[in-house]
């Protein structure tokens, strides 16, 4: 989809929504906000720009992505969102869209990573994105997964989601600890959009716990490892 068409969609999309406003901030203020580690950092540039250098911990949601609106709406609306691009123009459009669609705390890096680098803050590089090899489930296959054990924990995630990457080591550790007691699996929502919709997962990371095939607990966003272990352990004993 053409970038200018996307810009038009963003601008028009918020005209009839809420009247929230976002905050334009300079690089020093942006960095100080990020140190609180309380929200999501969103890079709206192209994958190529992102791979050449991005802010540590950023989630790539490119404005050129055909699913950009769907991905933005998977972010938690009650958490701070820190948006940036190269010079602040693209991110300003995205920040406007977010505030017009229910996000309560949105901060735009006003002069982009140009200022970020000018005052000496660093960027990190990453390899170019590769196609996802995540498992695609049919409804029957997912149903069998939910009934493969008395207790099943599903981590609904996306490869582009930085908070999902942050929680991944916790899920990996729990797979080892609860082996034989519970099935703990990750489900890529990009590869399985119908399953995400069926189970009403509106934000990621999303954790849903099933006992005998029925949902018994749900959590959205990051969670401490010990807290998650305690919850699963409680249902193991029930």
Q: What is the mean pLDDT of residues 192-221?
A: 94
Residue 161 catalytic? yes
Give CA–CA dist 26/234, Å, rounded: 46
Residues contacting residue 23 through CB under 8 Å, at least 6 positions apart: 106, 107, 108
Residue 134 lies in a domain: no
Residue 5 pLDDT: 45
Residues 20 and 86 in one domain: yes
Range of 17's domain? Answer: 3-118
Residues 188 and 220 in one domain: yes
Residues 159 and 56 in one domain: no
Tell how many helices (H) and how many strands (E) occur in the chain. Answer: 10, 9
Residues 39 and 145 in one domain: no
Query: How many separate domains does the chain show?
Result: 2
Residue 128 pLDDT: 53
Element (H, E) at 30: helix 27-34
Residues 97 and 143 in one domain: no
Residue 127 lies in a domain: no
pTM above 0.85, yes or no: no
Burial of 63 (0-12, 13-18, 19+ CB in 10 A): buried
For 11-51, write each residue's pLDDT tens digit: 545 444 445 689 999 999 999 999 986 789 999 999 999 99
Give CA–CA dist 13/220, Å, rounded: 26
Residues 156/196, Cβ–Cβ less than 8 Å: yes
Residues 107 and 184 in one domain: no
Give CA–CA dist 205/182, Å, rounded: 20
- CATH number of the domain that residue 61 is part of: 3.40.250.10
For 135-171, write each residue's pLDDT tens digit: 999 999 999 999 999 999 999 999 888 899 999 999 9
Pick the catalytic residue from 34, 86, 94, 164: 164
Give CA–CA dist 106/23, Å, rounded: 6
Residue 228 pLDDT: 96
Give phi and psi for 5, each to the nearest 5. Answer: -65, -40
Residue 133 lies in a domain: no
Residues 113 and 9 in one domain: yes
Residues 148 and 229 in one domain: yes
Residue 36 lies in a domain: yes
Would you state the structure tokens that stand for residue 179, as one six-digit string? Answer: 């082996």
Pick the catalytic residue from 44, 161, 195, 208: 161
Burial of 197 (0-12, 13-18, 19+ CB in 10 A): exposed
Residue 189 lies in a domain: yes
Give CA–CA dist 195/220, Å, rounded: 16
3-state DSSP assignment of residue 8? helix
Give phi and psi for 99, each to the nearest 5. Answer: -70, -30
Residues 111 and 7 in one domain: yes
Residue 129 lies in a domain: no
């Amino acid at each position: 989809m053409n970038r200018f068409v996307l810009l038009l969609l963003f601008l028009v999309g918020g005209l009839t929504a809420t009247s929230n406003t976002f905050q334009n901030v300079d690089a020093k203020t942006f960095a100080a906000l990020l140190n609180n580690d309380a929200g999501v950092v969103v890079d709206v540039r192209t994958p190529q720009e992102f791979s050449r250098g991005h802010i540590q911990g950023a989630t790539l949601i490119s404005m050129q992505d055909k699913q950009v609106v769907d991905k933005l709406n998977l972010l938690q609306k009650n958490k701070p969102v820190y948006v940036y691009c190269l010079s602040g123009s693209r991110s300003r459009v995205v920040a406007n869209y977010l505030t017009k669609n229910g996000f309560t705390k949105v901060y735009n890096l006003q002069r982009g990573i140009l200022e970020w680098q000018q005052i000496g803050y660093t960027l990190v590089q990453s390899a170019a994105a590769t196609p996802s090899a995540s498992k695609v489930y049919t409804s029957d296959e997912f149903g069998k997964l939910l009934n493969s054990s008395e207790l099943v924990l599903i981590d609904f995630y996306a490869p582009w989601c930085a908070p999902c990457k942050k929680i991944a080591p916790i899920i990996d550790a729990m797979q080892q600890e609860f082996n034989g007691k519970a099935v703990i699996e990750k489900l890529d929502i990009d590869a399985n959009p119908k399953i995400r919709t069926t189970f009403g997962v509106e934000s990621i990371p999303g954790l849903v716990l099933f006992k005998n095939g029925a949902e018994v607990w749900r959590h959205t966003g990051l969670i401490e490892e010990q807290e998650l272990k305690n919850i699963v352990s409680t249902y193991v004993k029930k």
